[in-house]
Structure 1
Amino acid sequence: MVEAPWLIHRRRMQTTSETAWQALPQPFLAREAHAAGLSSTSIAGAMRRKQIIPVAPSVYAVREGWVELTPSELHGRMSRAAAASVEGAVVSHQSAALIHGLPHPLGPLGSVSLTLRDSSQTAARDDWRRLLDGELPDVHVTHVDDVPVTTVDRTVIDSFRQLRPRDALAIADGALRARLTCPEELQAMRAFQTRWPGVRKADVGLAMVDFRRESWLESASVATAHQLGFSVPMSQVWIHDLDGRPIGRVDFLWSAAGVIGEADGRGKYFGSYSKKDWDPEEAAVHMVAERDRERELEAVGFAVARWGTSDLLDRGAGLARVLKEARRRADPRRIRCLWRQDPHDDLRPWRLAVTPMDGGDGPWAA
């Protein structure tokens, strides 16, 4: 029996499309599919067969695999497509931070942020792209996996200007921690953006940056506490007893108040386990060790405050509560210990600071 020509064509289309869709970037633009020899009819057929799914107007992805991506992975993939969809567009702000591997905001990531070199579409937005206009010299643009993206120093200052302080500080601290930029480069970029909208927020943020902070939660805690009126604490301080025995390294220390802060993300107790590898007994041992450590810190005179991610919500109401309670319990005159901020520094005897917790005892205070 001789098959009809249309049936032969349909079968060939199905055979070639199995591998052709996978060979495209994920997600891909309709014009990228056309450039690879796949027609609009092919796209429509693949959608009917549920091989591919629409993820934005004229943007598609192979269904298998796409639905398994995390929100941050999805945003990174969409950033490539967004940049390819608009001539002269460069991924910027929190989208650029994500591509650079920097901490990303808590909660939904929203639209992909793009800065356009020369466009009348200032502040335009659709469901998946946010188009911004701004002076963008070539030296402010780099490429990550062939995606045009703002440099790290530009990304940090842009984030300070437009993101929430807690998220922007986490990006800045992460960039310094990874040695992707330095304070001098950040100050130079801030000077370049003089008189840009929101640049004064960058001044506030730059005064708080510290490469010692180790996570989004730690950076966000400092920014939130600062907004609540607390001073900037020292980060990652080693506390020893008077015999020199280490008690532990604490996340934060408000030296004048005698208050230690511990930002308790899940990883502190649960580690980096997958669900199937998680060991409840090991987690319990870790929790008991943390309890004993806290008792030793209080025994040498400190008041310890603990909080988690949820305490930063509702404008930091939970964080304010635990810090105020610890400040009421604290008596800096009772503290008897040795301390250092860097493990290579000499141990120093504790001395009573004179600046209160609600102003002035910045990250380098003793």
Structure 2
Amino acid sequence: MMLRDWRSYPPLTLRRELLARGWDDRAISRAVRAGDLVRVRYGSYAAGQLWRSLTDAERYAARCHAVQRRAASELVLSHVSALPAYGAPLWGLDLDVVHGTRKDARAGRKEAGVQQHAGLLLPEDVTPVDGVEVMSAARTALEVTTIAPVEPALVVVNHLLHAGHVTLPELWARYGSTVTVERDRLGVVSPSATSMRRWPGSLRTELVLRLADGRCESVAESRLMFQCWDAGLVMPVPQHEVRDATGRVVARVDFAWPEHGVFLEVDGRVKYTDLVPAGETAADVVLREKRREELVTELTGWRCIRVTWADLQHPERLLARIRAALNGQRRAG
């Protein structure tokens, strides 16, 4: 699920700010009962009409802001809670908990839907986004891999790569980073920063980084890549270019198995609704897609598999289709 622009979240008003404007607790309670205000978290409020227009993911982002603003210690939004700053999808992630990392490095705790993490922060780990301190894209990506299953973690990492927020070499570098150790006054050697290889869940991190591919352009495409890997299928080539007899690129398909003569297109709702050009209808887009598929088939002789979001919900059936297409084309050749 993609989020609106980070700056479009509802402005939060704290209880102390309402009191400074002349409200009292009874007036606040009346406004909440009337629906004019919504209590985002204890002591934090948003305009009711705007709040009701938000998606679950956008409401989660607002709760993250509320937690940070009311935190007793300096808190950097981290893990899943830093993702809205990068417009990243939250598919398959737990949105019941707000994650923040304390800047004082003191022990973290979990209470009332908030998980405070304690960890050494390198100077490049923290970045301001529209006035809000969040983890860098590199550290955020790595943190998510330690607390989320592989499939949604891969979705996140691929998005951050595709959007240009981070590169794969940067992820590997931060994952294995170490700095010069220091000795305390007792002469005990202690690292001033540690590699994230030592973090709990880091075995998952290495797997996600090995699977990551910034050529995947959507949640559905990343999920398709993961499901192919999980089933042990030959991995497809993302965003494969198709050329005509002169060598000119005439089409680009979502995935291809050139050696098997098969290509695959992921049909998302957004392709036929949100991305319809001005002056066209969804039917125009569908027709253009059909003509493009016919052109690719004519030029390559390959067969096409079309996959929808619903197909991804039933991976056994989907993978059986893909496997049959790959095997069928090989036998035909």
Distance of aligned partners of 1:131 and 1:238 in 2 relative to their CA distance in 1, 3 Å threshold: same
Match of 2:211, SS? Answer: coil
| Aligned equivalent of 2:125 | 140
* CA deviation after TM superposition for structure 1 residue 304, in Å: 2.6
Distance of aligned partners of 1:48 and 1:282 in 2 relative to their CA distance in 1, 3 Å threshold: same
Is residue 253–residue 259 contact of structure 1 (8 Å, CA) maintained in 2? Answer: yes
| Letter of the structure 1 residue corresponding to residue 171 of structure 2 | L
Whole-angstrom distance in 2 between the partners of 1:159 and 1:292: 40
2:184 is the counterpart of 1:199: no
Whole-angstrom distance in 2 between the partners of 1:306 and 1:228: 18
| Letter of the structure 1 residue corresponding to residue 221 of structure 2 | E
Whole-angstrom distance in 2 between the partners of 1:325 and 1:96: 41
| Aligned equivalent of 2:320 | 321
Is residue 252–residue 262 contact of structure 1 (8 Å, CA) maintained in 2? Answer: yes
| Aligned equivalent of 1:22 | none
Whole-angstrom distance in 2 between the partners of 1:236 and 1:308: 17
| Aligned equivalent of 1:14 | none
Larger radius of gyration: 1
Whole-angstrom distance in 1 between the partners of 2:16 and 2:230: 47
| Aligned equivalent of 1:302 | 302
Whole-angstrom distance in 2 between the partners of 1:230 and 1:288: 27
| Aligned equivalent of 1:265 | 268
| Letter of the structure 2 residue corresponding to residue 227 of structure 1 | D
TM-score (norm: length of structure 2): 0.79
Is residue 240–residue 252 contact of structure 2 (8 Å, CA) maintained in 1? Answer: yes
2:135 is the counterpart of 1:150: yes
Match of 2:256 among 253, 258, 269: 253
Distance of aligned partners of 1:140 and 1:42 in 2 relative to their CA distance in 1, 3 Å threshold: same
Whole-angstrom distance in 2 between the partners of 1:327 and 1:245: 27
| Letter of the structure 2 residue corresponding to residue 204 of structure 1 | L
Is residue 144–residue 153 contact of structure 2 (8 Å, CA) maintained in 1? Answer: yes
Higher deviation after alignment, 103-112 or 61-70: 103-112
| Letter of the structure 2 residue corresponding to residue 286 of structure 1 | R
Distance of aligned partners of 1:215 and 1:333 in 2 relative to their CA distance in 1, 3 Å threshold: same
Distance of aligned partners of 1:50 and 1:302 in 2 relative to their CA distance in 1, 3 Å threshold: closer
* CA deviation after TM superposition for structure 1 residue 282, in Å: 1.4
| Aligned equivalent of 1:44 | 29
* CA deviation after TM superposition for structure 1 residue 294, in Å: 5.6
Runs of 5+ consecutive residues of structure 2 not aligned to the other structure = 1-9, 177-194
Whole-angstrom distance in 1 between the partners of 2:318 and 2:34: 51
* CA deviation after TM superposition for structure 1 residue 52, in Å: 1.2
- Residue correspondence of structure 1 range 169-180 to structure 2 within 5 A: 169-180=154-165
| Letter of the structure 2 residue corresponding to residue 66 of structure 1 | W
Per-residue displacement from partner, 1:268-307 (whole Å, max 9, x unpaired)? 3445249x9872441442343255246426xx34333221
- Residue correspondence of structure 1 range 1-366 to structure 2 within 5 A: 26-34=11-19, 38-86=23-71, 87-106=73-92, 109-117=95-103, 118-122=105-109, 124-127=110-113, 129-191=114-176, 192-242=195-245, 244=247, 246=249, 248-273=251-276, 279-293=281-295, 295-296=297-298, 300-314=300-314, 316-331=315-330, 334=333
Match of 2:39, SS? Answer: strand
Whole-angstrom distance in 2 between the partners of 1:318 and 1:88: 49
**In percent, how many aligned pairs have the same letter?**
27
Per-residue displacement from partner, 1:45-75 (whole Å, max 9, x unpaired)? 4334432122333332221211112233222
| Letter of the structure 1 residue corresponding to residue 39 of structure 2 | P
Match of 2:53, SS? Answer: coil
Whole-angstrom distance in 1 between the partners of 2:261 and 2:317: 20
Distance of aligned partners of 1:283 and 1:68 in 2 relative to their CA distance in 1, 3 Å threshold: same
* CA deviation after TM superposition for structure 1 residue 323, in Å: 1.4
Whole-angstrom distance in 1 between the partners of 2:136 and 2:331: 44
Whole-angstrom distance in 1 between the partners of 2:61 and 2:223: 22
Whole-angstrom distance in 2 between the partners of 1:303 and 1:130: 49
Match of 2:29, SS? Answer: helix
Is residue 90–residue 150 contact of structure 1 (8 Å, CA) maintained in 2? Answer: yes
State how many pairs are aligned: 304
Match of 1:328, SS? Answer: helix
| Letter of the structure 2 residue corresponding to residue 195 of structure 1 | R
Is residue 161–residue 201 contact of structure 1 (8 Å, CA) maintained in 2? Answer: yes
Runs of 5+ consecutive residues of structure 1 not aligned to the other structure = 1-24, 335-366
TM-score (norm: length of structure 1): 0.73
Is residue 99–residue 116 contact of structure 2 (8 Å, CA) maintained in 1? Answer: yes
| Letter of the structure 2 residue corresponding to residue 96 of structure 1 | A
Is residue 276–residue 282 contact of structure 2 (8 Å, CA) maintained in 1? Answer: no
| Letter of the structure 1 residue corresponding to residue 164 of structure 2 | R
